[in-house]
Amino acid sequence: MFDVSVARCADYAPEAVTRALRAALEPLGGLDWVKPGMRVGIKANLVTFLKPERAATTHPTVLCALTQLLRERGAEVIVGDSPGGLYTAAYVNRVYAATGMKLVEQAGAALNRNFGERQASFAGARVARRFTYTAWLDDVDAIIDVCKLKSHGMMSMSAAVKNLFGVIPGTLKPEYHFQYPDERAFADMLIDLNEYFRPRLSIADAIVGMEGNGPTAGTPRTIGALLAAHTPYALDLACAEVIGLAMDDVPTLRAAHDRGLCPATAAELRVHGDLAAVRVEGFENILQRRGLRFQSAGVFGKAVERLLASKPGVDADECVGCGVCAKTCPAHAIAMRDRLPVIDRRACIRCFCCQEFCPKGAMTVRRPLAARLLNRSHGE
């Protein structure tokens, strides 16, 4: 049975968050599996230098509440992530400072200071049979995946499954985008990471999520809930339901379902709490498809796919010419000309790294007119 728990939480007041977290965990057996002396790693989403109120990162109050509950059971708590960028003490410490992680230290957790890397071999993988990961994860006895619920340019939704991409050291992330440029291959890679590390528990910070130009430059949107599950796939299926997405809208859910790791619909979950009560109407998602796929082989099929595919595009009025997009593009498809990015569409692999890491939100996901019209004719 795929169990998911949902608890209402109106804001980030510490007492309210702690109360909601206890309520979300209790139907799942709480933290009874945590034993005194256990080292528990909290894998947060600390994607970049953004303050908590921007709703791009896991809110420190949620991490503090979880830390306190773990410490009550005698556990040692380590919080970590590998943001986009250098995986060094200097760089990550800046991210810790910007995202409010000092509060987590005050709550009794240690922030990860091990910036080593390890190599993994995973015979059970579908695509990522060898990969590099952050070594601090070997220092813990169990991992808790604490994600932020957000829209996402490439995967439609960023939640528990996508959060595990943070086990890949920051400067290597573009290489993985280039290695797995197709969204289906990228989704399978993410499932492989989740299956290798197998988080003991997954929690979604959906008190305030992000809609629109996510996962870093979108708009905060109050959802008012914490969700929890034993598996990241069940949690993501519930999160998708909350923001109005179906399995076929989210490549990682499609990939998980194909492996028998989650059901096809949220109706097949065993939900503790009222999932319908936290469903957000009109949540602005980034949809590249609504289950509509063209499987035609040959030149025609590829031409149709190119015609309908979403692409990154620049808002010249918002662009400041910093060049971050060109530096982070794994395909080297962006050149700066007259302080504006120019995208080589033939080289672009549509990984949306430029959109994710643009510090001004000037890069956006653009759906071609043909795709919008076609989806409208199919009920969008």
User: Rounded distance, CA 325 to CA 327, Å?
Assistant: 5
- Asked whether residue 113 is domain-assigned, the answer is yes
- pLDDT classification of 356: cutoffs 50, 70, 90: confident
The reply to whether 293 falls in a domain is no
User: Does residue 173 share a domain with residue 33?
Assistant: yes
In a domain, 290, yes or no: no
pTM over 0.85: yes
pLDDT at 304: 45
Residue 15 lies in a domain: yes
Question: Containing domain of residue 233, as a range?
Answer: 3-278
d(CA 217, CA 204): 19
- Confidence class of residue 366 from pLDDT cuts 50, 70 and 90? confident
Which of 21-35, 76-90, 293-307 is predicted with the least confidence, judged by mean pLDDT? 293-307
| Same domain, yes or no: 247 and 313 | no
More confident residue, 36 or 351: 36
| Amino acid residing at 17 | V
Name the band, by pLDDT with cuts 50, 70 and 90, for residue 306: low
* pLDDT, position 294: 39
- Integer angstrom CA distances of residue 77 from 100, 103, 125, 142, 262: 17, 14, 29, 10, 29
Say if CB 188 and CB 255 are below 8 A apart.
Answer: yes
Q: Which residues are CB-contacts of 282 (< 8 A; sequence separation ≥ 6)?
A: 244
Based on the domain organization, do 130 and 262 belong to the same domain?
yes
Same domain as 56, residue 181: yes
CATH number at residue 313: 3.30.70.20
Tally the domains of the chain.
Answer: 2
What is the torsion angle, in degrees rounded to the nearest 10, for the CA atoms of residue 248, residue 251, residue 252 and residue 258?
60
Whether the pLDDT of residue 380 is over 90: the answer is: no
Report residue 160 as tokens.
């528990």
Alpha helix stretches (DSSP H) within the chain: 14-25, 60-72, 89-98, 102-106, 160-163, 173-179, 183-197, 232-242, 251-258, 298-308, 324-328, 353-357, 369-377
What pLDDT, on the 0 to 100 scale, is given for residue 190?
98
**139, 234: one domain:** yes
